A and B are shown apart, each in its own frame.
Chain A
Amino acid sequence: MRAMYSTVFAAMLLSAFASAQGPVEFVTAEGSEMRIPRTDAAGPVGKWWLPALDSANSRYSQLDQINAGNVTRLESVSNWSTGINRGHEGQPLVVDDTMYVVTPFPNFLLAFDISKPGFALKWKYDPAPDPTAVGKACCDVVNRGASYADGKIVYNTLDNHVVAVNAQTGKEIWKTKVGNVNEGMTLTMAPLIVKDKVITGNSGAELGVRGWVKGLDLDTGEVVWTAYNTGPDEETLMANPNFKPFYPKDQGKDLGVKTWPPEQWQLGGSTVWGWISYDPELDLFYYGTGNPGVWNPDMRPGDNKWSISIIARDPDTGEARWAYQLVPHDAWDYDEIMENILVDMPWNGEMRKLLIHPGRTGFVFVLDRETGQLLSAEKFHPPTNWATGYDLDTGLPQIDESKRTHMGQTTYDICPSSTGAKEVFPSAVSPRTGLLYIPAHNFCMNYGAIEANYIAGTPYLGADVLMYPGPGENRGELIAWDPIQAKQVWGIKEKYPLQSGVLATAGDLVFYGTTDGWFKAADARSGEVLWKFKVSSGIVSNPMTFTGSDGRQYVAVYAGIGGWVGANAFDLISASDPTAALGTTGAAADLKQVTTAGSTVYVFALPESAAQADTEAAAGETVAAQAQ
């Protein structure tokens, strides 16, 4: 790996498009002008080193051995139980001949030898986390995966440790404590390795935790910088001349203090439990923040910055470059921690560096990722009614005040619910179609705001929420969305809320899973479901793909229901209380009737003979494509 770094360094001096992370190559394809910036950090084609494959968060794989023509022959080749019957979010990594799986709490790291039949277990690393963390995690004890670089697998544990494990031996290299579980803080997101830093963020906005991102030294685990998302500019790292928010509403000194009642920012949530993206050319990383703490909006008059915002920062220093608050003064718990997909596309005839954010709020936001300017915000979830649209001149939502929640009253029929028009489960893009594939979710809610007490380590809500299925027969839909035209191209309606990520491949396929346990492959152009396979439990993970040591293309996914909505399948939640599980039980209790807890890593491939035939047939085309 050190060798790779020096190669990278040499290339950086030579190439005009170079960055500190290696030369930037653009993944393109015939069919659209979308291009995905990618560097060596994503690993070689056929491997999967970062949570979303690349730091652009594309979840687009160039593998095409499995394609729309042969996917019907896909078969299960291995399945392993992790032994932990809780929500399996996230995705495996594949580095060389090893697949890495992080389990839900107690956050084991399992390494499987993919060169052995059935993928033999090589080793298991146990970080031995504090069990107190189990009762502080708002929405099941999930983990969203690891990142790989420099011989290290790096991930978060629920009890607020970041660990780096030797990818070969499974021995711990460093382990850094970054938070206190007794304050209600937990870690659930997948850290992203950017150059020599590990970028990580915290969870716990439901317990009055103050959100942050931290940059850790990849070699030592030392915390190099901490950037809070609330509080004074010195602590949000916005006190620098290069911090230039695009909109006047987001400009000014110490907005992380002034947009809150006195001291409320200390309990202000705005945590970072979703995905981090990185643009190697601009040398900026991007993330979205969660809900402001306390849920009851009348207890925190003001815009409550920087809750529900997208923030761009320098990975070396953590310094902010721009910030855009999508929803000032949230009244619905609309965390916007969703994936920010970094692609370049023509916008009004000019190629632009875009940031595409399919939002919990029901809108797909398209921003210019150099400046933070909002280029488009259109509803992908038609029932969305908390706002009618966005004013692109001011960056402000046009809110329907009748849907704003207030203390002492219940506001009825708000769409989407707090769980969003999509959840944290990430979308994918494909340059072959130019489309964004969104795993959508259709709940509405009644929301009563009540007084809340802050008691450290307990939920800080002030809300009595009841969710229920939104209009139509489907609580889920895989939506293919044209980000330029801002319109839906096709949709696959699902009875149950969609809670899995999406994988798009050069084989013109999109893979996703359903909460009732079907793993599906659909035609990326038409939305026709071409193949499906029933797995042991509901899917709340993100499918990924890789090339094995035998040259075959594999697709992997976890089956293990859980998470905020998925936990309704567990016995510990009673269907007789629809306000249970922070209000989701009213919309998802019937998951109990269609799935049970599970813990399986599934791997699929074409039969050996078929894989070989297709590789040979495609060989000519691949060579031709590379020559271009």
Chain B
Amino acid sequence: MKRTKEWMSLSALLVLTLLAACERREAEPAPAGALPEVTGKEVTGKLLGPQPGPDRPIPKANNPFPMEQNVLTEGRRLFVWYNCYGCHGGRAGGGMGPSLRDETWLYGGKDQDIYNSIAEGRPHGMPAWGPKLPQEQIWKLTAYIQSLGTPLEPKKPPENPVMPTTGS
């Protein structure tokens, strides 16, 4: 029931927003490609949504380990040792957990993003390994994950018997 109410109020909000946009457009047609004029003067009360704004990059750490064979091989060994392969696939192509070798990064694909996903865990079952693993091992796992599908990948997957040579 609670969810239904939330949906109702969300839908109502959406409809109102769309209506507002339409009215504005009718009153003063904007040139093609232009963004509608936005001001804050009509806003009263508490802001509910995220605040848009210019990109302000958050500083992120880079992997202290280079993408070198000994690092990647060790990352692969840890990937098997800590049972990551059981969820994410023998060569990280997914299963219980999502593929790590496709184009999609659910929680970001930068060094620090991958590190955080491993260290903090994620909803839907990904354990938080931060309290269990030395940072060094998490960085090596990060390096291995970033090598997937690249020429640097150690222990590359065999050809797929039913669907040879696909991109991801």
Contact A572 B94 (CB under 8 A): yes
| B80 at the A interface (CB under 8 A) | yes
- Report yes or no: A132 in contact with B124, Cβ–Cβ below 8 A: yes
A337 within 8 A of B: no
Report B143-155 CB contacts with A as 1/0, cut-off 8 Å.
0000001000000
Q: Is A580 an interface residue (CB 8 A)?
A: yes
Residue ranges of B at the interface with A (Cβ–Cβ < 8 Å) = 3, 80-83, 85-87, 89-99, 101-102, 104, 123-127, 149, 157-163, 166-168
In contact, A575 and B168 (Cβ under 8 angstroms): yes
Docked-complex contact B86 and A573, CB < 8 angstroms: no
How many contacts A-B (CB < 8 Å)?
A: 143
Contact check, A577 vs B157: say whether CB atoms are below 8 A apart: yes
A132 touches B125 (CB 8 A): yes
* Residue from B93, B101, B127 whose CB has the most chain A CB atoms within 10 Å: B93
Contact of B82 among A458, A468, A589 (CB under 8 A): A458
Interface check A206, CB cutoff 8 A: yes
How far apart are B91's CB and chain A's nearest CB, in angstroms?
Answer: 4
In the complex, chain A residues whose CB is within 8 Å of the CB of B3 = 126
Specify which of B85, B93, B96 is in contact with A585 (CB 8 Å cutoff): B93
CA distance A291 to B102 in the complex (A): 31
A574 and B93 contact, Cβ closer than 8 Å, known pairs A457-B127, A458-B82, A469-B161: yes
**Alpha-carbon gap, A573 to B161, bound state (A):** 15
CB–CB A574/B125 < 8 A: no
Measured CB to CB, the nearest residue on chain A to B84 is A458
Shortest CB distance B144–A (Å): 14
Q: A575-B166, A576-B160 are in contact. Are A460 and B86 (CB under 8 A)?
A: yes
Provide the bound-state CA to CA distance between A540 and B99, in Å.
22
Given A459-B87, A464-B90, A585-B89, is A578 in contact with B157 using a C-beta cutoff of 8 Å? yes
Q: Which residues of B contact A588 (CB under 8 A)?
A: 162
Contacting pair B82 A459 (CB below 8 A): no
Give chain A nearest CB distance to B105 CB in angstroms. 13
Interchain CB contact under 8 A, B89 and A590: no
The contact of B162 among A134, A136, A459, A590, by CB within 8 Å, is: A590
- Considering the complex, give the chain A residue whose CB is closest to the CB of B89: A580
Residues of B within 8 A of A593 (CB): 163
Report whether B96 and A137 are in contact in the complex, using a CB–CB cutoff of 8 Å: yes
Chain B residues with CB under 8 A of A590: 162-163
B123, A131: Cβ atoms closer than 8 Å: yes
A133 to B96, CA, bound (A): 11
Known: A459-B83, A574-B89. A135 touches B162 (CB 8 A): no
Partner of A573 from the list B99, B124, B157 (CB cut-off 8 Å) is B99
In the docked arrangement, what's the CA distance between A577 and B90, Å? 7
Q: With A and B bound together, what is the CA distance between A588 and B160 in angstroms? A: 9
- Chain A nearest Cβ from B39, distance in angstroms: 38
- Say if the beta carbon of A450 comes within 8 Å of chain B: yes
**B22 CB to nearest A CB, Å:** 29
Known: A134-B125, A585-B160, A589-B160. Is A576-B166 also a contact (CB below 8 A)?
Answer: yes
